[in-house]
Amino acid sequence: GGMGGGAGGRGGGGMGDEPGAMPRMQRQAPFDIFAERLKLNKDQKTEALAAVSDALKESGPLRQQLLQAKLNMAKAMLGGASADDLKKIEDAYASLAAQVTGIETKAFAKVCGLLKPNQQGKAASAFELMAGMFNVSAGGGGGGRRGRN
């Protein structure tokens, strides 16, 4: 007998939609997407991860303060704060954001220093991905509204 093997009557061969294929539950980590975009080799990836990790550690307290400044801004607006008070909160927020951007840019410069000439063309688009790693909200940065309003 035998069952006849082959791709069997379903059309397309192996694009991940076979019933037995493992579902791809885990989204790729932002750093992995970043490393892929730049086509980093193993050594570059290790060094780049160290630079990004250090920058995330360094910017952590500032990012927490940014979140607090956003909350303060919302409270002030809802509470009918004066234009002067709002300006002070906005200025504090802008200062914190500039500090985080500085840390992020220094880390990105380290990563760019690791790149070979054939990888450098992808740097600009990868910076956007890196910026996303620093913009994680207090909720852990999941996507979309999870049914809570």
- H or E segment to which residue 32 belongs: helix 30-38
What per-residue confidence (pLDDT) applies to 28? 83
Say which residue the tokens 């607006």 belong to: 77
Alpha-carbon distance of 86 to 107, in angstroms, equals: 32
Cβ burial of 54 (10 Å; 0-12, 13-18, 19+) is middle
What per-residue confidence (pLDDT) applies to 134? 85
Q: Output the average pLDDT for the chain.
A: 81
Closest Cα partner for 38 from 23, 27, 51? Answer: 51
End-to-end CA distance of the chain: 59
Residue 120 is classified by DSSP as: G
pLDDT less than 70: residues of the chain: 1-26, 136-149
What global pTM score does this model have?
A: 0.68
C-beta atoms surrounding 132 within 10 Å:
13
Biggest CA pair distance of the chain: 85
Residue range 117-137, pLDDT digits in tens: 999 999 988 988 888 888 755
